[in-house]
Amino acid sequence: MKLDPGNWETFQQFLLQCLMVEPGTFVPVLSHLLYYRQAGFAIDRQAVEEVMNHQIVFNCPHGHSSEVAWAIWTLIVFGLPIDGLASQAISRMDDSVIALLALDAQQRGLIPRGLDTTLWQSYMETAELRGKQWLLAYESNVKGWLPSNGNADHVAADPDFGHLKRLGVEFYNSAKVLNAAPTFASTSSGAAPAFSAQDA
C-alpha cells in the first residue's frame, strides 16, 4: 500500500478502530503499524497503549487467549506499559504463553503494578512438567522469573527437563520478541505485510 504521509494519522486511527470493532484484525493491523514504524512514520503511542490495554481487559474474562497474547506482545514491542486493570485481568489467565509474555513484560519494567503471579506460581513443580502448563513450569524456571515451590529446583530434579536446562534449551526467546519485522509485502503490493522474528 502506498500511503501519502499526510494521511498517516487518519489511517493509523482507522487501523486502531478496526481492532476495537473486530479483534480478529490483530495480525493485519499490527503488521501495518510495524511496517510504517519501520518506514519512519510516527506511532501514536498513547492511542496504541489505550487500545491494547482495553483489549486485554475486554478479552481476558472471555478467555480469548490469542487476542490477549497479541495485545501484550504489542505493548512489549512498542515499550508501552500494561496498566493496573489489565495486569489484574492477565493474572487470572490460565495460559502459559500469556503468563510468559506477562512475566517478560514485568522483567522489562512494563508492568508497574497489579500483576499477581499466585496462579502461575502454583505450577512451579516437577509434576507440572508433564502437565498442560509444562511450558510455563519449565521456561519461567530457566529464566529465573518464578521460583520453584519448595527448596529444590523442580526442573533440575526431572531427568528429561533437567537435561534440557543443562543444555541451555529455551522455548521463549526474549531477545527476538523485540526484533519482529514486517515481511513478504512491499508498500506497493496491495497486500497487508506480515511479520516475522528476525535474528538478533
Statement: the pTM of the whole predicted model exceeds 0.85:
yes
Q: Which residue has the higher pLDDT, 170 or 190?
A: 170
pLDDT at 195 over 60: no
User: Mean pLDDT score of the chain, rounded to an integer?
Assistant: 90
Number of alpha helices (DSSP H) and beta strands (DSSP E) in the chain = 10, 2
pLDDT at 193 over 70: no
C-alpha span between 97 and 94 (Å, rounded): 9
Tens of pLDDT, residue by residue over 140-185, are: 999 999 999 999 999 999 999 999 999 999 999 988 888 765 454 4
Q: Which of 86, 73, 79 minimizes the C-alpha distance to 43?
A: 79
C-alpha span between 128 and 133 (Å, rounded): 6
Cβ pair 196, 183 in contact under 8 A? yes
pLDDT at 101 over 60: yes
The pLDDT score that the predictor gives to residue 196 is 55
Amino acid symbol at 179: N
Tens of pLDDT, residue by residue over 20-29, are: 999 888 989 9
Evaluate the CA torsion angle 186, 43, 67, 55 in order and state its sign: negative
Report the greatest alpha carbon distance in the chain. 60
C-alpha span between 98 and 154 (Å, rounded): 21
Tens of pLDDT, residue by residue over 40-90, are: 999 999 999 999 999 999 999 999 999 999 999 999 999 999 999 999 999
User: 162 to each of 126, 134, 147, 158, how far by Cα in Å?
Assistant: 10, 13, 15, 5
